[in-house]
Chains A and B, each alone.
Chain A
Amino acid sequence: MPHPIEIRNLRKSYEGRAAVDNLSFDLRAGTLLGLLGHNGAGKTTTIRIALGMIRSDGGTVSILGGPITRDTRDRIGYLPEERGLYPKMPVIDFLFFIGMLRGCERSAIRPRAANWLERFDLADRHKSPIQELSKGNQQKVQFIATLLHDPDILILDEPFSGLDPVNRHLFEEIVLEKRREGKAIIFSTHVLEQAERLLDEVIMLRKGVAVVQGKLSEVRASYGGSKLDIAGEGVEGALRGYPGVEPGRQPREGVWRFRIDDRSRAQEVLAHLVRSGARVEGFTLAEPSLNDIFLERVGGIDRGLVESGFIPEEAGA
């Protein structure tokens, strides 16, 4: 059985500049796939091509088993990055409009809309013009509009941006609920801690190229080893050139981060430090976080780190 979304060798360029370069991935039912990358990395272009809004220069996109059609388009729920709402339209009218535009019957929309409005604590605002709602509540309306036609595929562009913690939790809960129901979900985000908590699979894009791709656990494993945070004095000098230890960046004053090829090497490193007379004040061994992987493979958040050599040049370029 084909996966809900199958993308092969997708290419798209604008005025000679590649926006998406040879991208391939599958989105499986019941999984959460994260598209991570800076602005202009190709996330929105990929999403728009998948939705049939723009055409690719090459490659194939298969939605629910074939090229996108009017019917399969209606089985996608899309939350655009830029929230778009008719400001003067009452909430319930907007939901009816979007629901019907996505192919639902009026009779089917009514109970669903009531249900979602209840869940998002907006039941008493259903007649209010959208512009009278707070930003967070407007985002809830937009989210309901995405879910209203009970789509098989959810494409959420920065779904959690601008939400307060309570609502972020509510949104997360619903996304996870949809995954349990077997929906296939793509979302793009730059909140990496959150992505780490939710994602099953991850694609990191840099200039349209997938620099990291795979199951989150595999990505972590393939990142190679673990990270070691050591606080103290003389640490960096003592470990320079030590086999199996790559010098890393300095996450904060007085702390050095190293990558080691194997967890078991940590003991050996500590012993070496003690022997060489470095003063060790803190010693932490941890799995690399998505943030670490992102910074190293996609980079660019702090150019200063690249220039000072703490992040490999090819990652930050």
Chain B
Amino acid sequence: MNKSLVIILREYLVMVRKKSFLISTFLVPLGMFLMLFGQIYLSQREKAQDFGIIDRSGLGVALRLTWARSNPLEVLKGTKQYIFKYVEDTPEAVEAAEKAIKEGTYSALIIVPEDVLETQTVQFKAKNITDHQVQRWLEDELTKIVRERKLRDRGIPRADVSAILATVDLDLEDITGKEQSAGQRLLIGFGSMFALYMMIAIYSGMIMNGFIEDKASRVMELLLSASSPRQILLGKVVGIGMVAITQVAIWVAVVFIVREVRPGMLTILLAAPASMYLFTAVYFVLGYFLYALLLSAVGAMCNSLQDAQQYSLPVFLPIITAMVCLSLVMREPDGPVSLALSLIPLTSPITMPALMGLTTVPPWQTAASLAILAATLPLIYMGASKLFRVALLMQGKTPPLKDIGKLLMAPEQ
């Protein structure tokens, strides 16, 4: 059997049987699952909120709000139900209502003053005044009621008043012909970027640790006596890569099973076009190989985890840059920063999938990005196996950073 294959198999079988693999493979989706389920469960369980209204203005606010809330459009939009209850304006009313709020029977008390038309202010008393959604809605509706009365007082006919107060809506249209809403796209783009970052960082880091362990346990010398450095490098990188692919495959299978069992639950994950999944997969594989090779070289040179952490920082810098530049990319998906990050091979595996989620990337850009990335890989492979050969047998001391260039240029030992 081919030696690389023997090493691939060992790395794969050992990793897949590890507890940490089982935990990360099954607990991560389970956790996400519980979060999703929990959210749905909670929102379904949430009770309708009762708002008490003391209306001193005689504008019929309670009725108007109830009517506005039961407007079919509002019912469709909101998940929360609000019930507005008219509270008689007795001297004890405010105190009693406040007590009711503290006991939880009322969510809030709304006091509309007599002179609301002049003061333009309505009191809102509640235990929790951070629910901006309902406050914004109340402000809009109360403004409408007050304006309507003012217009009517100035003798404008009812029909004209509705015409004047009619709101303007934004008609959102994506001219690139994408089917998803903007929010969904943002989520897909950001999600794929973050997922790629996590997977690439975790798995290529795993390789680096593997090399340090094998050097520490002196297995490396045994491997080197039986196979070439390139066979070892290839075997480890591919072996661990297959572990990553297995993990992703299990997750994809889980998503499909869930979709069968509860359609509509994970629609957001499946909302992107098929090509996007394909490109994400391609960038993942290429990006993984790129970083796995770089970190293999780091692992081969370092003799301790501390050294390795220090040396892997510059390697991770491009990925971190890509993450930090996300807001720039989001604001200007076709701007120069986005273009540069999508072409530089060290950042493109992270930036491109995000970009594809955000906008339609021109085919030439995708092609150029992939071509540059694919062309870089053999160079990195050659450099890594060179460093590897020189550094692997070094025990005890990690060469200083400034010597790495020298090692790369040196004739092979």
Contacts and interface: CB of A to CB of B under 8 A. Distances in A.
Interface of A: 48, 51, 53-55, 70, 73-74, 76, 78, 80, 82-89, 97-98, 100-103, 145
B207 to A, nearest CB: 16
Given A55-B413, A100-B1, A86 B223 contact: no
Nearest to B215: A84
A101 B227 contact: yes
Contacts of A70: 3, 228
Interface of B: 1, 3, 6-7, 10, 14, 214, 217-228, 393, 412-413
Contacts of A88: 14
17 contacts: A53-B225, A54-B393, A54-B413, A76-B225, A80-B218, A82-B221, A84-B214, A84-B218, A84-B219, A85-B219, A86-B217, A89-B14, A97-B10, A100-B1, A101-B226, A103-B1, A103-B3
A100 B232 CA distance: 14
A101 B219 contact: no
Contacts of B218: 80, 82-84
Contacts of A73: 225-226
A87 B412 CA distance: 31
A74 B227 CA distance: 9
B224 A53 contact: yes
B170 to A, nearest CB: 60
A97 B10 CA distance: 7
A87 B217 CA distance: 8
Given A97-B10, A100-B1, A101-B3, A55 B412 contact: yes
A97 B6 contact: yes
A247 to B, nearest CB: 43
Given A84-B217, A84-B218, A97-B10, 13 more contacts: A48-B393, A51-B225, A53-B225, A73-B225, A78-B222, A78-B226, A80-B218, A86-B217, A97-B6, A101-B3, A101-B7, A102-B226, A103-B1
A188 to B, nearest CB: 14
Nearest to A88: B14
Q: Among A70, A82, A84, A85, which residue has the most Cβ atoms of chain B within 10 A?
A: A84
A84 B226 contact: no
Nearest to B221: A80
B225 A98 contact: no
B226 A80 contact: no
Contacts of B14: 86, 88-89
If over half of B's interface residues share one DSSP class (helix, strand or loop), that class is named, otherwise mixed; here it is: helix
Contacts of A82: 218, 221
Contacts of A48: 393
Contacts of A78: 222, 225-226
A78 B222 CA distance: 8
B10 to A, nearest CB: 5
A73 B214 CA distance: 21
A100 B3 CA distance: 8
A91 B224 CA distance: 20
A273 B14 CA distance: 74
A84 B226 CA distance: 13
Contacts of A87: 217
B224 A98 contact: no
Contacts of A86: 14, 217, 219
Contacts of A80: 218, 221-222, 225
A100 B7 CA distance: 9
A51 B223 CA distance: 12
A76 B227 CA distance: 12
Contacts of A145: 222
B215 to A, nearest CB: 9
Contacts of A55: 412-413
Given A48-B393, A55-B412, A98 B217 contact: no
B218 to A, nearest CB: 3
Given A48-B393, A54-B413, A84 B222 contact: yes
B411 to A, nearest CB: 9
Contacts of B3: 70, 101, 103
A76 to B, nearest CB: 8
A234 B214 CA distance: 61
A145 B14 CA distance: 19
Contacts of B413: 54-55
A88 B214 CA distance: 12
B412 to A, nearest CB: 6
